[in-house]
Amino acid sequence: MTTTEQSACRATQRTPLALYLNSPQATALARVLVPLLFGLYSVFLGADSNWDLTNYHLYNPFAWLNGRLQFDLAPAGMQSYFNPLLDLPFYWMTTHVPPRLTGFAMGALHGLNFVFLLGIAQRLLRDLAAENRYRIPLLLALAGSITPCFLSQVGNSMGDNATALFVLSGLLVLLQGWDAMKSAGAHAALFPLAGGLLVGMDIGAKPTTACFAVGICIALLSHPGHWLVRVRISFAFGIGVLA
């Protein structure tokens, strides 16, 4: 029996669910359904009450919008001077939107990490056999979205799940342009610049995530192109991060 015949035989033995998961329709549906499910999961978890929330996640946007920085004396300690932009959407929803809708919106926003993970998996696993082409990236993205650390912060204001969106989207941009970055044209620098800009926005929102930028910048030196191409890509990425 040839390899093609063996693959066809295995495909016919799969359950209807496995066959459906290995379809573009399932992938398209998951891109919409999974973030919505995370929104519902956030509502199920109930109100957030972490210590950082009571300390500065609500105060910092309030202070920035109301000019309190020069009036209050560091009421949240050193955290009083953190960038308030990351907490601004949560603050606005908390003060203008019903609580359950706020919780759903935050959970759905965090659920978008699944969409970027799926794109990354599809880009990295382009050579999968036909019977696994859609199923394996989908399941890998789901696995990456249900880790204990991620689930523990779904819908809350800690910021790690939110800033992950910038890192994953930046990494996806780099992978999309992986082959194009080999060329010598100026357009080849757009991918590392755009990827660096996204990752840099992550650092600007939460400086403790700078380790991701360092890791990606070093990893870009593994590009299969000429060593000058590797240096150019890493340098362009670093410029994007600084910008």
Q: What is the pLDDT of residues 66-80, one digit of tens each?
A: 988 888 888 988 999
All residues at 6 or more sequence positions from 93 whose CB lies less than 8 Å from its CB, including other chains = 101, 102, 105, 106
pLDDT value of position 103:
95
Both tokens of residue 30? 């998951």
Which pLDDT tens digit goes with each residue over 12-56? 456 787 787 888 899 999 999 999 999 999 999 999 888 999 999
pLDDT at position 13 is: 54
Contacts with 113 (C-beta within 8 Å, 6 or more apart), sequence order:
144, 145, 150, 161, 164, 165, 168
DSSP 56: I
How high is the mean pLDDT of the chain?
Answer: 89
pLDDT of residue 3: 54
Over 60: is that where the pLDDT of 10 sits? no
Predicted confidence at residue 230, as pLDDT, reads 87
